[in-house]
Structure 1
Amino acid sequence: MLFFAPALITAQDSGNMIIDADTTATVNFLTEDKSANATVPSDTLVAYTPKRFESGFKTKYKGEEFIYELKPQAKTNWQRFLDWLSKVLNDIFSFGNSATNTPAYAIIVRILLGLLLLFVVYLIVKAIVNKEGSFRIFGRSGKKISVQNVTEGDIHQMDFRQLIESTKQKQDYRLGVRYYYLWLLKKLSNREIIDWHWDKTNTDYRYEIKDAGLRKDFEYLSYLYDYSWYGEFPINELAFGKAEKAFLKTINTL
């Protein structure tokens, strides 16, 4: 007992020092029910209200700006064609790491192949854009008859004899060939050989003509008209006389 007295005195002194340092301290003792003394001030209580979403709220977030993982779009046929063309041109004009190792004749051959390929592509694109029954590489294709505001009703009301005489006096032979061609279409329409419409093409009318001989004459007269009007080639009096004779030969049989 004597040996432990200093320790007890020290502990008691220490406890007195702590209590003296904080005179307002209180000691709470836990009971078996730990929640017995656990009280929450009334001013800290918050009423809980469940959050409710508006009806149809998902539709507001279906736009592309809310999609963070966009699926790659499928390439169109035109895009695939451009990719293929780019690859082919790259293969043709690619000379490796050093062009000095490539013979001169190989470079020339590749350049010629590239130019040939570009020309073929030009022809394909031109044919697709035309879509007018026949394919023309140079010059205007213009196969439609709807020039100078010729409508469906006009062709049956026009006096082509008088119009042609007027063009001959003015020496506008190119316009004279045009009037002859429209006159031919009028005669074919009156005979119900073709179904005239201002937006139809020469090829459309050719397929409507059942008689083989008449179809052949129509093809030739269409060539004359296309050559003089759409080709924009100058027509002199002599050339017009030959064209006039060919047109009248067919028109007079209708």
Structure 2
Amino acid sequence: MRRLVKYIILFMFACVGNVAWAEEEYREPSCSPDSSYVLRAPEADFLEKYRKDAAFDYTMNIEEAPSVWEWIKHWILERLFRVKDSEGAKQTMDIILKIVLGLFALGIIYLLVRNRDKFLFRKRGTDFSPEDSVEYTGEQEADSFVRLLAKAEQEGDYVLAIRVSYSALLQMLDKKEVIHWEVSKTNQHYIYEIRNETWSHRFEEISRIFDCVCYGEFPVDEIAYRNIKRYFTEFRKEVEG
């Protein structure tokens, strides 16, 4: 019995010794005070600091530069009207600018159509000298228009003949002080300027024919020209009395 107890005690000591030896075997060796190895750990906000730095943000979407149209709207809103650049303000300004540009374009088209005779009128290759202006400039005498009209009729250019006849009427009305010719005035101005109501209506009718033929490119043959010429002749006789 004593031997059994002795063996049990010896067995227990052996087991305890083996456990202690295993722990000693796998225990991490400590660094000596004079070692050159220093274990360092990053600061707690190390990664957060770089996350907040835009220079290291490679996922950022690069916005395109604003177009010229957007820059103009932005400049008008903030510099002229002192309005905050919001989405609603941009949409309103977009509509206003398109309306203004549309009106400007219509104005340019009107001026081109109104004065196109100055650019396109000589496309038929007439051989008039520079001083023989078909349009009345406030300086020509009646004889110059008589000569131009005879040449246009002889060549069968009836559109040109109607244009010359209309300029001759303006010259006659200006000399008789029925109208006061100015380069900036339109035919409509002269219609309102003629005080004689009958003459005003007659001149309005002739002006409508002139616009249709010269600006509306209404075809005119010899028969049509004779009928139109009658309006000019009768009106001239009535005014000259």
TM-score by length of 1: 0.46
Q: Which has the higher contact order (CA 8 A, sep 6+)?
A: 1
TM-score by length of 2: 0.48
